[in-house]
Structure 1
Amino acid sequence: MATGEAETRIEALNKAVVDADEKTVAFIQALSDDQIKTLGDKVFWVQGEKTVDPATGADVALPEDAEDVINNNQMRGELDNALAALKLFSKDDKVRAESVKTLLAEPDESKLALVEKAFAAESNATIKSQLGLLRGALLLNSDDKASRLDAVKTLADSSNPATKTVLLARLKTETDSDVKIALAAALAKVDAALAWGDKLGAIFSGISLGSILLLVALGLAITYGLMGVINMAHGELMMIGAYATYVVQTLFQKYLPGAFDWYLLAAVPVSFLAAALVGAALERSVLRFLYGRPLETLLATWGISLMLQQGVRSIFGAQNVGVENPVWMSGGVQVLANLSLPYNRLVIIAFAVAVLLGVGWLIGKTRLGLFVRGVTQNRPIASCMGVNTARIDTYAFALGSGIAGLAGCALSQVGNVGPDLGQGYIVDAFMVVVLGGVGQLAGTVYAAMGLGILNKFLEGWTGAVLAKIAVLVLIIIFIQKRPQGIFAMKGRSAEA
């Protein structure tokens, strides 16, 4: 395995793998790690400060003229495959499953004997099924026609994306007409099985995108839908929430490393308060003088958004900063072979639902919500009833800004955090609010989910750019036919 031409070494490696013991596994790992040297027909294993004989394990002196073993790309690939194959006998189910996945990506017929041995010894039904697929993929390269046909029949029942790749590769090189027909039929069956996973994946991706749009648009539904303020700095309020999450993460890493996995629980209220305070300051210092003048609020908030972006660049730098997922948000649920639901996306969907319920309760069931609805429907009468309208304006704008901060906290868990974070969502957020109906939280939910799912399905057919254009065209057509959005505002406020 250490000396001679690459073909000879690979042949020796494949023979050794079939009946490998712990010493053989360790030696193959050492070869992969470039710890082996040779001199003539003698082999030396360098282990830090000492050198041992790989066969006996005894300490030996390393000759000064010993040469490194050179592993070309082909040899390194074979060593990696051999190590992956040997993990088929690990006591850990996860290690064995990962080994099968690695070998299935690049089937090598020389590993058939080892796979057969692992298949006979496997007790986990799921892994045994995957080993059966791997065995079929290896038999596809057999010289025996009957073996190839049997392998095709086995692989036809698979819903693993790697199986489709294996079948396509074999179809390109197959010369026998009967096997070709069987391969084509198997591909059609595998495609049909994968189609369900693709459709469900598109739906989940749409719901995930819709939940993010919902978080972004909820705050805007208050500041624009209820208060009539065209806030072009809404994206930057999201950015502030994301950077607040980054600051909390940094503090936990420095002062509470043992509790790092729970930093997100502290980041949620901090991101809300940070964005809400900035929003309150913005309303009290600028927007309170511009109510009823939408063009001026648009220009003023656009200028403020530029100032906030530059402020963040001055404090944190122009480069994106990294926000890590807690351990409990890493990984995902494997529903189908080609459908995995990431934990971070599932948490964000649940978080969006919780925020929606909280906002609905606050607006519909609390004294503050009653005042907000009263001021937005008829400001003079609310003032005559003793409501401090200026204070309610500040509270409402701070609430909308705080929700934007929560959206930024959620976005930090699925993407990069940078000064331009909010720019990619502000237009979509306005589309959601306008499409759903100004001031209608229920319409915001329907519009966010509808746009998210529609966008993901169109991406599969047309690509991301054309999907965006198609969605925008559909919204324009819809608004032309129904200017009030999905849910029209009812009552006297609709006539005002």
Structure 2
Amino acid sequence: MLTLLLSISCLSPVFADDVVTPVAPVSTAVDAVAISPVSKFVLADFDGQMALIEHWPDSPASLENLFTALENDQLYADAKGHAYLMQSDGTFTDYVTDQKANVSADALTAISLNNAMRTAIDEHRAKAGLMAADVATRQAAATTLAADPLSVDDAILTERLKVEKAPSVLAILTRIQAQKDMASGDAKRELAGAESLASSNDPEILNLVQEKLADPSISPTLKAALTSAEHKIALKIKGSEWGGYLFSGLSMASILLLAALGLAITYGLLGVINMAHGELIMIGAYTTYVMQGLFNHYLPSIADGYLFAAIPAAFLVSAVIGMIIERIVIRPLYGRQLETLLATFGVSLILMQLVRMIFGAQNVEVANASWMSGGVIISPSLTLPYSRIAIIGFTLAVLLAVKWLISGTRFGLFVRAVTQNRQMARAIGVRSSRIDMLAFGLGSGLAGLAGCALSQIGNVGPDLGQNYIVDAFLVVVVGGVGQLLGAMLAAFGLGVSGKFLEVMMGAVLAKILLLGLIILFIQRRPQGLFAVKGRFVE
């Protein structure tokens, strides 16, 4: 009996534990960690990790977070699959809960990237980038995929080819599809790929076609299709190139017109040969440089807006300097053109030396505003820069403003009266000396606007104006002295023809031929495109 009681007493704690002690429930957080995609990733072998990247079971944002952690060498895991992120101070946080974790690096294993996984990540990001709203993002994504076109999913590529509108992106996707078709080994797909390439104007696709044509094993049918595609693509590329030349010519013409508008006032209407006109252009460019520096220093939050302040500033600074030159140097020399030429040439040398003393002899850089960076992509071989488009539009706006000022205002009426008959204008009460000064200031201010525009497409230096002064005089003389319409036609004619001649025979021969043609034109028609009016006739 005693033995039985002792046995029962020994067993009772065991039964008591079985009855009373509850089984601890597994934590929900632990469950979440155990089954999370990140846990699956850190526990998987290489093939499993690659498969998870390709078919990620969670949101795209969570996959991007994983990529970021891997690229920054932050991802660690323990033997049970719990993932942690290493912080900059060496501590760890739980990957899922983002709570600080009391673990040491010795107990964890770093999850690192290799080249194959980096490539897979880049391709996955590129495929996602094809769906982006931004054209630049889609183009970058397509370029990444083009590095390994055979790995691009057919369904994704077909879908994007149907909906893509941007020419630059569409050209890359077309090239990828063509490369896949060419490598398929299927005669029908190869032929379809060759025929689809014929609609492209991408130089890289032309290279692809030429490489395929060099393969002696292709069938005669495919060779004929590729030859036809090569001819059509080359023709379209040539058309894009000539379109680019035309745009470059228009851009150069707008620059010449801006530089010549001021001369159309000072030389055309007032009859003053101002050899310092180029330096007034330079002053406008340096004024733009100064305004950029002021905005960067005092208003960095709106630094891109410096151009809107630089335009009136360049006009006013150049106009004031021009009026000072007219009052001190030119006024005593009216009617004496040789002396005026020599005096203004001396003024130009003085202005250049002053700029060298203040800003240095080296060129200075005027950065484009961010909204003027980039361009309109017409085709893979033709992009129209925003800066050039803006200059063309600005030139036309200035031309219209000057036309209105000369033809539609009281000031313009006085200018035309003084230039056509100074004595009669004085007789009816027009202050001719004041009109001379203001008209010269207007021409100088227009030169400053030309300098402001030129600063957006090149470096600014003390010799900037010397590059345009001769061409500006040619525009005024060919167009007809004092004629704004003639100046516009001459500028666009010289700019476009000069660019096309430069393409065909080189810059030096083109310049020689153009100058020869201008000499012949002036010999046959000394008054230019339009008849001369103004004091210069006298």
- Shared fold (TM-score, shorter chain, > 0.5): yes
What SS is found at the alignment partner of 2:362? coil
CA contact (8 A) 1:107 1:134 kept: no
TM-superposition CA deviations, 1:252-309 (whole Å, max 9, x none): 2222233333332222111111000111111111112222232322222222222212
**Equivalent residue in structure 1 for 2:190, among 138, 148, 156:** 148
CA contact (8 A) 1:231 1:301 kept: yes
CA contact (8 A) 1:25 1:86 kept: no
What are structure 1's unaligned runs of at least 5 residues? 1-10, 38-43
What are structure 2's unaligned runs of at least 5 residues? 1-46, 77-83
TM-superposition CA deviations, 1:449-490 (whole Å, max 9, x none): 111111222233223333333322221221122121111226
Amino acid of the structure 2 residue aligned with 1:265: F
Matched, 1:108 2:148: yes
Take 1:314 and 1:12, find their aligned partners in 2: how far apart are those partners?
A: 69
Take 2:119 and 2:265, find their aligned partners in 1: how far apart are those partners?
A: 60
CA gap 1:290/1:493 in 2 versus in 1, 3 angstroms: closer
Take 1:430 and 1:399, find their aligned partners in 2: how far apart are those partners?
A: 17
TM-superposition CA deviations, 1:174-221 (whole Å, max 9, x none): 642534433221121112333443333333222222111111100011
CA gap 1:12/1:201 in 2 versus in 1, 3 angstroms: farther
Take 2:148 and 2:119, find their aligned partners in 1: how far apart are those partners?
A: 9
Matched, 1:245 2:288: yes
Amino acid of the structure 2 residue aligned with 1:246: Y
Structure 2 equivalent of residue 284 of structure 1: 327
CA gap 1:311/1:199 in 2 versus in 1, 3 angstroms: same
TM-superposition CA deviations, 1:435-455 (whole Å, max 9, x none): 101111111010011111112
What does 1:469-488 correspond to in 2, within 5 Å?
469-488=512-531
Structure 2 equivalent of residue 124 of structure 1: 163
Take 1:410 and 1:392, find their aligned partners in 2: how far apart are those partners?
A: 27
Structure 2 equivalent of residue 388 of structure 1: 431
CA contact (8 A) 2:202 2:237 kept: yes
Structure 2 equivalent of residue 135 of structure 1: 176
- Aligned CA-pair RMSD: 4.1
Take 1:131 and 1:495, find their aligned partners in 2: how far apart are those partners?
A: 61
What SS is found at the alignment partner of 1:489? coil
CA contact (8 A) 1:32 1:79 kept: no
* More displaced stretch, 350-359 vs 322-331: 322-331
CA gap 1:110/1:45 in 2 versus in 1, 3 angstroms: farther
Take 1:301 and 1:333, find their aligned partners in 2: how far apart are those partners?
A: 42
Take 2:124 and 2:458, find their aligned partners in 1: how far apart are those partners?
A: 34
What SS is found at the alignment partner of 1:415? coil
Amino acid of the structure 2 residue aligned with 1:189: K
**Equivalent residue in structure 2 for 1:176, among 218, 226, 245:** 218
TM-superposition CA deviations, 1:102-131 (whole Å, max 9, x none): 248x55344333x64343477734269556
What does 1:36-55 correspond to in 2, within 5 Å?
48-50=88-90
**Equivalent residue in structure 2 for 1:413, among 441, 449, 456:** 456
Take 1:427 and 1:79, find their aligned partners in 2: how far apart are those partners?
A: 59
What SS is found at the alignment partner of 1:439? coil
Matched, 1:233 2:267: no
Take 1:110 and 1:15, find their aligned partners in 2: how far apart are those partners?
A: 18
Take 1:96 and 1:281, find their aligned partners in 2: how far apart are those partners?
A: 53
Take 1:16 and 1:183, find their aligned partners in 2: how far apart are those partners?
A: 40
CA contact (8 A) 1:330 1:342 kept: yes
What SS is found at the alignment partner of 2:526? coil
Structure 2 equivalent of residue 260 of structure 1: 303
* More displaced stretch, 129-138 vs 200-209: 129-138
Structure 2 equivalent of residue 160 of structure 1: 202
CA gap 1:370/1:119 in 2 versus in 1, 3 angstroms: same
CA contact (8 A) 1:84 1:99 kept: no
Structure 1 equivalent of residue 43 of structure 2: none
Take 2:277 and 2:86, find their aligned partners in 1: how far apart are those partners?
A: 60
CA contact (8 A) 1:100 1:134 kept: no
TM-superposition CA deviations, 1:202-248 (whole Å, max 9, x none): 33222222111111100011111122222221111111111112222
What SS is found at the alignment partner of 2:165? helix
Take 2:433 and 2:426, find their aligned partners in 1: how far apart are those partners?
A: 9
CA contact (8 A) 1:88 1:95 kept: no
What does 1:290-329 correspond to in 2, within 5 Å?
290-329=333-372
Amino acid of the structure 2 residue aligned with 1:163: I
Percent of aligned pairs sharing the same letter:
48
TM value normalised by structure 2: 0.75
CA gap 1:471/1:123 in 2 versus in 1, 3 angstroms: same
CA gap 1:321/1:71 in 2 versus in 1, 3 angstroms: farther
CA gap 1:460/1:102 in 2 versus in 1, 3 angstroms: farther
What SS is found at the alignment partner of 1:286? helix
CA contact (8 A) 1:240 1:408 kept: yes
What SS is found at the alignment partner of 2:529? coil
Structure 2 equivalent of residue 449 of structure 1: 492
**Equivalent residue in structure 1 for 2:265, among 209, 222, 230:** 222
Structure 2 equivalent of residue 5 of structure 1: none
What SS is found at the alignment partner of 2:383? strand
Structure 2 equivalent of residue 7 of structure 1: none
Take 1:300 and 1:122, find their aligned partners in 2: how far apart are those partners?
A: 66
Matched, 1:354 2:393: no
Take 2:133 and 2:343, find their aligned partners in 1: how far apart are those partners?
A: 60
Amino acid of the structure 2 residue aligned with 1:133: T
What SS is found at the alignment partner of 1:126? coil
- The alpha-carbon deviation at position 330 of structure 1 amounts to 3.1
- The alpha-carbon deviation at position 165 of structure 1 amounts to 3.4
CA gap 1:239/1:342 in 2 versus in 1, 3 angstroms: same
Take 1:459 and 1:272, find their aligned partners in 2: how far apart are those partners?
A: 32
* More displaced stretch, 474-483 vs 166-175: 166-175
CA gap 1:245/1:131 in 2 versus in 1, 3 angstroms: closer
CA contact (8 A) 1:109 1:141 kept: no
Amino acid of the structure 2 residue aligned with 1:126: K
TM-superposition CA deviations, 1:142-171 (whole Å, max 9, x none): 161624333222211123343223323444
Structure 1 equivalent of residue 418 of structure 2: 375
Take 1:213 and 1:139, find their aligned partners in 2: how far apart are those partners?
A: 49
CA contact (8 A) 2:198 2:230 kept: yes
Take 2:142 and 2:156, find their aligned partners in 1: how far apart are those partners?
A: 17
Take 1:169 and 1:76, find their aligned partners in 2: how far apart are those partners?
A: 31
Take 1:28 and 1:170, find their aligned partners in 2: how far apart are those partners?
A: 38
What SS is found at the alignment partner of 1:277? helix
CA contact (8 A) 1:14 1:110 kept: no
Q: What is the number of residues matched between the two proteins?
A: 478
What SS is found at the alignment partner of 1:243? helix
TM-superposition CA deviations, 1:21-53 (whole Å, max 9, x none): 86876777788789999xxxxxx9987554999
Amino acid of the structure 2 residue aligned with 1:232: M
Take 1:76 and 1:227, find their aligned partners in 2: how far apart are those partners?
A: 74
Take 2:323 and 2:392, find their aligned partners in 1: how far apart are those partners?
A: 28
Take 1:77 and 1:421, find their aligned partners in 2: how far apart are those partners?
A: 49
Amino acid of the structure 2 residue aligned with 1:210: A
Amino acid of the structure 2 residue aligned with 1:370: L
CA gap 1:129/1:441 in 2 versus in 1, 3 angstroms: closer
What SS is found at the alignment partner of 1:340? strand
